[in-house]
């Protein structure tokens, strides 16, 4: 992660904060599609965030910031030696919830909720919206490919039917020729 942040060519996508105690991902789409695959074995932003959480990085929530910001007490721009202190968290036992909170009726959520209510921050909603847009773009590309494949298959079917019609004409001509020859002979 530190190597990514040291690369000044990536500053438009991710960078240190001004005081160097956290880093900011400014363009999630570019980060996910272009940068993650170069440094990690995947290009899934949610998996990247889970990995950060496993190493005790925390998302910094700011209502005015649409970027993703993460912080760790031992991860600083100017303190490389403290990187050795960053270790994977010990797996702990999860607490079982004693009671589940009642969910509001759907009509209340649809008509009476604020955009960031019910546990989702604006940043989470923006990320989810971006993920849905990417999914829609992917489906649109797939649909376009299917339309092209369908058009080609239709053309092949028309060509095949034309060839069958030509072969039937040739066979009819041969049958007529044989009949005429038999009648004259």
Q: What is the pLDDT along the chain (185 residues), one digit of tens a residue?
A: 878 888 888 888 999 888 888 999 988 889 998 888 888 887 888 889 998 999 999 988 764 566 788 999 889 888 777 787 888 887 765 555 555 555 555 444 444 444 444 567 888 888 888 888 888 888 888 888 888 888 888 888 888 888 899 999 999 999 999 999 999 86
* Parallel, antiparallel or unpaired: strands 68-71 and 58-59: antiparallel
Instruction: Identify the pLDDT of residue 95.
Output: 54
User: Domain-by-domain residue ranges, the chain?
Assistant: 1-89, 119-185
Q: Closest Cα partner for 74 from 91, 60, 90, 87?
A: 87
Instruction: Identify the pLDDT of residue 130.
Output: 85
Q: Which fold has domain 1-89?
A: Arc Repressor Mutant, subunit A (1.10.10)
For 143, how many CA atoms within 13 A lie in the half-sphere containing its CB? 6
């Amino acid at each position: 992660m530190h190597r990514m942040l040291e690369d000044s060519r990536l500053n438009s996508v991710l960078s240190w904060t001004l005081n160097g105690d956290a880093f900011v991902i400014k363009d999630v789409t570019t980060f996910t599609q272009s940068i993650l695959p170069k440094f990690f074995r995947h290009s899934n932003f949610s998996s990247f965030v889970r990995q950060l959480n496993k190493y005790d990085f925390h998302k910094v929530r700011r209502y005015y910031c649409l970027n993703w910001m993460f912080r760790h007490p031992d991860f600083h721009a100017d303190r490389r030696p403290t990187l050795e202190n960053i270790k994977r968290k010990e797996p702990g036992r999860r607490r079982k919830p004693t009671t589940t909170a009642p969910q509001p009726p759907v009509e209340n959520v649809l008509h009476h909720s604020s955009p960031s209510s019910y546990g989702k921050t604006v940043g989470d909603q923006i990320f989810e919206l971006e993920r849905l847009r990417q999914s829609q773009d992917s489906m649109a590309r797939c649909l376009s490919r299917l339309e092209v494949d369908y058009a080609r298959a239709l053309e092949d079917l028309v060509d095949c039917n034309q060839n069958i019609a030509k072969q039937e004409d040739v066979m009819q001509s041969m049958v007529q020729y044989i009949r005429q020859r038999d009648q004259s002979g």
